[in-house]
Amino acid sequence: MQELVAVRKVELHQHVDGSIPVDITWELMSRHGLNPVATREEMEELLVLQNREGGTLLSYLDKFHYPLWITQFYDNIALVTEAIVEAAHKQGVRLLELRYSPIIHTYAGLTVRQAISGVLHGMNVARRRLPDIECGLVVIAMRQHGPHIAKILARQAISEAYYLHNTTGVVGFDIAGAERGNPPSLFREAYDIARRGGLGLTAHAGEDEGPNCIWQAIDELGINRVGHGCSALEDRELMRRLAKDHILVECCLTSNYQTGAVTAGQRHPIYDFLEAGVPVAICTDNTTVSNTDQTRENALLLPEMDLAAITELHRRAEEHSFILAPGAARSGDQRARGKSRT
Ligand SMILES: [Zn+2]
């Protein structure tokens, strides 16, 4: 396991809300008298998905209420982000894209922009101690809030874009939440705004819906990467398209089994993606809700891949990161491709 910890890792799909270490949630809840249960152990049960609770995307999303109690305040948001970056760094992550929907962190009066800069501040504080980790934020629009809010969020995301500031910034745009009834095509204008604003584009798609959703996200939103994308497996033409256009699939193994995106006992689609020449990244999704970390997710691949292959997987995933140092140009960079479409 120690050898696996030492692998230089790239994390492209990790949510802030679902990844806050239990200890810091407990500490903040107790400090502010918000704790709904008497002990840390009971709190852990509420934050981490229990075997009896899993099986569907909606039951998985149900675990996200308690983190929101503490992440409505600038200092708390910065503090929990700092803890997430530190925890990832301990697992060998050296490039970290966190994602977050700022609008669900404005219930106590923060503006969307403050909610974004709270996360960026936490990243910057962590990076002062851990300068060898690169960080960036992907702003999420929740599908159930509709296309108008998504457009507003895309504009706010641009205002904190990485290339406008000397420190860590927003690098990408995403949609998440209930897939059913909220097809990607609704969000076309929001993605146009984000693309023109120089952000990388990804979308949760094909986790709870069929391949049609992924086609829509590619053709109508112009995504550079897809979150989960499990149902692509049902469509060989789509698999060829992902490979041809170098659209990376952000694979989250533990989470996919917990939400039912992949049936228990079934081989994970990541191997089919690799065999079809589709770029992939191994991602945690939510380290706390899924009770996992980067090392554990990598270990799941060990029966079929050796250490060198896993290291190579991370190296190639890095080429698809939306994090790009200002002024630096990576050849074949996904963002450059996205920009050329505008
Ligand atoms: Zn996700």
List domains and CATH numbers for the chain.
Answer: 2-340 (3.20.20.140)
| C-alpha span between 25 and 148 (Å, rounded) | 32
Q: 85, 83, 96, 90: which is closest to 1 by C-alpha?
A: 90
DSSP of 143-191, one letter per residue? Answer: GGGHHHHHHHHHHHHHHTBGGGSSS--EEEEEEES--TT--GGGGHHHH
- Report whether 71 contacts 294 (CB < 8 A): no
How much is the pTM?
0.93
**Ligand 1 centre from 13 Cα, in Å?**
6
- Say whether 207 is catalytic: yes
Query: For the sheet containing 134-142, what is the strand order?
Result: 9-15, 93-100, 134-142, 170-176, 200-205, 225-228, 248-251, 280-282
Report the C-alpha gap between 141 and 154 in whole angstroms.
8
The helix/strand/coil state of 300 is coil
pLDDT > 80? residue 103: yes
The whole-number average pLDDT for the span 63-82 is 95
The rounded Å distance from CA 192 to ligand 1 centre is: 21
CA distance 340 to 206: 26
Distance (Å) from CA 14 to ligand 1 centroid: 7
Mean pLDDT for 43-72 is 88
Question: What digits encode the pLDDT tens for the residues 124-168?
Answer: 999 999 999 999 999 999 999 999 999 999 999 999 999 988 889
CA proximity to 203, closest of 212, 214, 193, 194: 214
Distance from residue 10's CA to the centre of ligand 1 (Å): 16
At residue 338, does pLDDT exceed 60?
A: no
Residues 23-51: pLDDT tens digits?
999 999 999 899 999 999 999 999 999 98
DSSP code string of 81-118:
HHHHHHHHHHTTEEEEEEEE-GGGG-TTS--HHHHHHH
Minimal CA–CA distance to 99: which of 217, 260, 252, 327?
A: 252
CA of 32 relative to ligand 1 center, distance in Å: 29
Q: Is the pLDDT of residue 63 over 60?
A: yes
Cα-to-centroid distance, 260 and ligand 1 (Å): 14
* Residue environment code for 189-222, b if the CB has 16+ CB neighbours within 10 A, otherwise e: ebbbbbbebbbbbbbbbbbbbebbbbbbbbebbb
| Ligand 1 centroid from CA 38, angstroms | 30
Give the whole-angstrom CA distance, residue 311 versus residue 180. Answer: 36
When pLDDT is averaged across residues 47-66 and rounded to a whole number, the result is 85
Cα 167 to averaged position of ligand 1 atoms, centre (Å) = 25
For the chain, the residue count is: 342
Question: Given this model, what pLDDT does residue 325 score?
Answer: 53
pLDDT (tens digit per residue) in 310-337:
999 999 999 999 997 544 434 334 444 3
Beta bridge partners of residue 251, listed in sequence order: 282
What distance in angstroms lies between residue 285's CA and the mean position of ligand 1's atoms?
A: 5
Ligand 1 centre and the CA of 147: distance in Å?
19
Q: Which of 207, 209, 250, 297 is catalytic?
A: 207
Give the Cα separation of 129 and 119 in Å (integer): 16
